[in-house]
Amino acid sequence: MTIKEIIKILPYESPFHFVDGLSAISDDGVTGHYTFKETEFFYAGHFKENPITPGVILTECMAQIGLVCLGIYLMRAELSDDFKPQIALTSSQVDFFLPVFPGEKVSVISEKEVFRFNKLKCKVKLFNEKNELICRGTISGMLKPNTHD
């Protein structure tokens, strides 16, 4: 399964799609990136005249790249044109250190801790373009193929 195929079958679309690309993926982890556009819907009301990216959106970006993209890759043998993944976030614990402003590009590095019985648990880190740590944590989710029935 190629990176383009993984991104194509993600169960998200604008304005809630936070994956621009993946630079590496393996059975052990994934690295990807996203640029937060100045026109993102959540900036309008998140701190008057000083917008920053909400922590829940940063967590979602890490989950989409670090958990969902990796999960799709790990389940690639079970997926086909008829089988799309169902994903449910089961837990997240994230510590935040720096803000992300409109227009910033971030990179996610995710390392698989456990993938068993379709439950994936990953250590995730989010960095800015200066390679400064923005946040880090652990995210878990359940994944399974679905026939849209």
Q: Is 46 a catalytic residue?
A: yes
Out of 17, 33, 46, 148, pick the active-site residue.
Answer: 46
Single-letter amino acid code for the residue at 23 = S
Tokens encoding 26: 């393996």
Q: What is the total residue count of the chain?
A: 149
Contacts 24+ apart (CB under 8 A), 61-64: 61/18, 61/19, 61/34, 61/106, 61/108, 61/126, 62/94, 62/108, 62/110, 62/124, 62/126, 62/135, 62/137, 62/139, 63/89, 63/92, 63/124, 63/139, 63/141, 64/10, 64/12, 64/17, 64/18, 64/19
Contact 107, 124 (CB under 8 A): no
Active-site residues, by number, are: 46
